[in-house]
Amino acid sequence: MEKMNIVFLLFPNLTQLDFTGPLQVLSRLPGAQVSLAAKTMEPVPTDAVLTLNPTHDFQSCPGADLLCVPGGFGIDDAMQDEETIAFVRRQAEGARYVSSVCTGAFILGAAGLLQGKKATTHWAYHDELKRVGAEPVKARVVRDGNLFTGGGVTAGIDFAFTLMAEIAGEEHARAIQLGLEYDPAPPFDAGVPDKASPGVLESQRERYAPRVAAFREALGCALKQS
């Protein structure tokens, strides 16, 4: 296959698995060349101790064939940052595929890239997709044209295999799945609201409530700037 330049957006306090899950899969695409783009070349902190070293800043990053935007609590600041949003718009213009994982969808939304598009995100933020002009779809992976969005965190792995099958064919995706021994068998069937017990669901809604409230305020500010 021809070269595939995959650009991941990095920003402080992103959820590392939103990034590292898709990275592990997509870096095995034939011809993959991965660029990790951040506002500066300083190490980028994540939500789980790990720090990430950018390969490029926004000015030096090559154009993306595939743009991938992870999520995380850091989206509150990222989607209000003019340089970040300008970079995303610029990269999306020439990309064959534009994509996000989890709440990274709202960075795409703040850049005006979800208008009239079907999309998904983390369950706690799902209804907020309407505020960026998207049509929320409750699914682990959603495709609308060249736009691919993944649900919360671990959905990024399924999302990456969906993209791999689209780009390199299902047979190659199956081979990489075997190589990574991706055969999920969680000990509990409680990974989405419809499957969680009422007590577990309520505890998580309470945990996310202040976080979602802060996000809504940040999203309002981001949309005023756009």
Which residues are annotated as catalytic?
102
DSSP 46: B
Q: Which of 103, 193, 215, 112 is nearest to 150 (CA)?
A: 103
Rounded CA separation 17/154 (Å): 7
Could you tell me where the beta strands, DSSP code E, fall in the chain? Answer: 4-9, 32-38, 44-45, 51-52, 56-57, 66-69, 97-101, 118-119, 135-136, 141-144, 147-150
Beta strand 118-119 with 56-57: parallel, antiparallel or unpaired? unpaired
